[in-house]
Amino acid sequence: MKSILIVEDEDIIAQNIAASLKNLGYNNTYIAESGKKAFKIIEEKQPDLILSDIVLKGKINGIELAHQVQKKYNIPLIYITAYSDEDIINKAKLTGPYGYLTKPFRKKDLKISIDIALYKFRIEQKLRESEKKYRLLLENSVCQILYYDLKGRLVLINKKAAESLGRKIDDLIGKLIDEHFPKPIANSYKQRMNEIIESGKGAEFEDLLEFHSVNRWFWSNFQPMKNDDDKTIGVQIISHDITKRKKAEEEIKLLKDLLQAETEYLRKEVKLSHGHKNIIGESNSLKQVLNRAELVAKTQSTVLLLGETGTGKELIAQRIHELSTRKDKTLIKVNCGALPVSLIESELFGKEKGDYTGAMTKQIGYFELADNSTIILDEIGELPHELQVKILRVIQDGQFERLGSPKTIKVNVRIIAVTNCNLEKQVHEGKFRSDLYYRLNVFPITLPPLRKRPEDIPSLTWSFVREFENAFGKKIDIIPRKSMNELQHYSWPGNIRELRNVIEHSMIINQSNKLRIEIPRATEYISSAYLSLEELERQHIIQVLKSTGWRVKGKNGAAEILKLKPTTLYSKIKRLGIKRF
């Protein structure tokens, strides 16, 4: 973990910052109450980051400290201060800080500032290393310069060119071009020189030449040499070996072809793995979902998929894409909750290379990749508030800008937003923009939880059994009726995903062709606090019926225990879909 130096002359504040850093996982911290003490720690400990107040006791204030750190040490520094004086701020900016935190600040603000500072510093370090390598390459590059007069005699040659010809400069001057190069190259060069002399215009060429018994690529620039009267008196040739570049271009082309092939393969795999055959069930609630998915798929409308975790929202999103006019384009999937806050904007919208972004190369964002296709925004409720307005603009206008670029990019993207959150509640709490919510909520589809479609559990169960039969090399012929009934009456807080895990576990421990399934009873009570009142009522009635041996009427019957009329209890059993097992 990175080490951090806190330069703060108020001990309580310094200790509070150190405690916040410890909570963030930065256990290796140092505290200096003055600039003098800070330099001593910097010399001895070489911290990875400095958090410094601007106003410090003693002769060395925070700005002077930053100047010296910038001059002598390669350590990023973030200012922390309660001052907002414009003159002080302007002086502080001249030191090139990596951030600025105004007291008091939240732990969240501290974390983001540190993450950004370390990321920016790391990128700048890579950029410096690249620049160093580039300068070294430039100083040692092989670039040959030759001047020939109108008779084809060499007038001037540089050291690089002489070395490439394997001769001394004095041995080459005054000699004809035929004496410098193999005959094929000499003839080609003479023809080009005649064309340059005749036209008076320069030209560039790329040739594969046999030089010293080796085929190599050369870039050559032929330019007419003219006197003060604009009369051609000779030809200048600047030549450079570009064999490595040509090989790199060939490799890039090969990689592009491979990437294209891989993309095509991915599209096929998506169709195979997530086709309609993987959406299993015959319940009316599932049929309603599929019917709505098929209706909206033929349009370009935004879709909002709602439902608990594990209900198969991503499968429905993929089904909508496959039935749409965009089906031949690659489906782009983004988990908004999994992207780091500091990177989410560049991941979604891309960024330009340059000092502002700290990027060494241009990055294409997910929305640009999804042009003329569909993008799934999973966990849309986790999207930071400041980025929601950019998503809204893409929906409304199909426009956005890459990070670090003023140029507007236009795209045609179909958005399918997915969430297990109550977005309407988040709107009321101010966590989600109401205008974005109404744009996303054009065509909502709510996926039912598994407990609401118990009639689909047998077909889902057998589907998972067949899947794990192949994986584990086992054969199952029978699932006991009791086990299947228990599966249908379990609440399944984890929905289809939990059912799959239960079947996988049972298949691992099973040793015969009859599959005995272990129902996760404990989970039923742990998760009951999150069930609806109707589901809690259903579970309670089932428990009472079990305790009475499924006897409804009579003394100590379920109706008596529940203090209900038997006819009322029968109605509830029918309405709640309770079946004896």
266 within domain boundaries: no
Same domain, 374 and 433: yes
- Nearest 5°: the CA angle 511, 514, 517 is 85
Number of structural domains found in the chain:
4
- Which of 75, 106, 137 marks a domain boundary? 137
In 3D, which of 433, 385, 388 has the Cα closest to residue 415? Answer: 388
Same domain, 459 and 435: no
- Which of 446, 465, 495 marks a domain boundary? 446
Provide the residue-wise pLDDT of the chain in tens; the chain has 581 residues: 789 999 998 889 999 999 999 999 998 899 999 988 999 999 999 999 999 998 888 888 888 999 888 888 889 999 988 776 778 888 888 888 998 888 888 888 899 999 999 988 988 888 788 767 644 543 454 678 888 999 889 988 887 888 888 888 888 899 898 888 888 888 888 889 999 998 888 998 888 887 677 788 888 899 998 887 888 899 988 888 888 888 877 777 656 654 554 454 355 444 434 334 568 888 899 999 999 999 999 999 999 999 998 899 999 999 999 999 999 888 989 888 777 777 888 889 988 876 455 656 678 888 988 889 999 999 898 888 888 999 999 999 999 998 888 889 999 999 999 998 899 999 998 889 999 999 999 999 999 999 999 999 999 999 999 989 988 898 999 999 888 888 998 889 889 988 998 999 899 888 899 998 888 764 444 444 456 778 778 888 888 887 787 888 887 788 888 888 888 888 888 888 887 65
SS3 assignment, position 148? strand
Cβ atoms within 10 Å, residue 322: 18
Same domain, 154 and 128: no
Write the CA distances from 181 to 167, 176, 221, 483, integer angstroms: 12, 10, 17, 88
258 within domain boundaries: no
pLDDT of residue 355: 47
Question: What Rg value do the Cα atoms of the chain yield, rounded?
Answer: 36
**Matching residue, tokens 């996303």:** 440
109 within domain boundaries: yes
Same domain, 414 and 327: yes
249 within domain boundaries: no
pLDDT of residue 15: 92
For residues 530 and 418, what is the distance between their CA atoms, to the nearest angstrom? 20
Same domain, 236 and 219: yes
268 within domain boundaries: no
20 within domain boundaries: yes
**Which CATH number does the domain housing residue 124 bear?**
3.40.50.2300
405 within domain boundaries: yes
Query: What is the separation of C-alpha 118 from the centre of its chain, rounded to a whole number of angstroms?
Result: 19
pLDDT of residue 131: 67
Contact at 8 Å (CB) between 436 and 388?
Answer: yes
**Which CATH number does the domain housing residue 504 bear?**
1.10.8.60
Strand 4-7 with 49-52, pairing: parallel
260 within domain boundaries: no
Contact at 8 Å (CB) between 70 and 95?
Answer: yes
Same domain, 365 and 223: no
**Which CATH number does the domain housing residue 391 bear?**
3.40.50.300
pLDDT of residue 135: 47
Cβ neighbours of residue 370 closer than 8 Å, sequence gap 6 or more: 329, 332, 411, 413
DSSP structure string for 74-135: ---EEEEES---HHHHHHHHTT--SEEEESS--HHHHHHHHHHHHHHHHHHHHHHHHHHHHH
Write the CA distances from 392 to 149, 186, 218, 415, 446, integer angstroms: 67, 64, 51, 11, 22
State the first-to-last Cα distance of the chain, in angstroms, to the nearest integer. 56
For residues 420 and 362, what is the distance between their CA atoms, to the nearest angstrom? 34
Residues listed for the chain: 581
- Which run of H or E residues covers position 255? helix 243-273
Same domain, 317 and 172: no
- Which run of H or E residues covers position 147? strand 143-149
In 3D, which of 452, 483, 478 has the Cα closest to residue 465? Answer: 478
Write the CA distances from 276 to 280, 316, 467, 539, integer angstroms: 8, 9, 16, 32
Same domain, 158 and 126: no
**Which CATH number does the domain housing residue 213 bear?**
3.30.450.20
Tokens representing residue 369 in the block: 């990749």
Residue type, 444: P
pLDDT of residue 246: 82
Domain membership of residue 438 as a residue range: 274-446
Same domain, 406 and 293: yes
SS3 assignment, position 47? coil
Contact at 8 Å (CB) between 298 and 443?
Answer: no
pLDDT of residue 95: 86
Same domain, 286 and 391: yes
Same domain, 320 and 361: yes
Same domain, 205 and 299: no
In 3D, which of 497, 496, 544, 498 has the Cα closest to residue 519? Answer: 498
For residues 119 and 126, what is the distance between their CA atoms, to the nearest angstrom? 11
- Which of 226, 241, 256 marks a domain boundary? 241
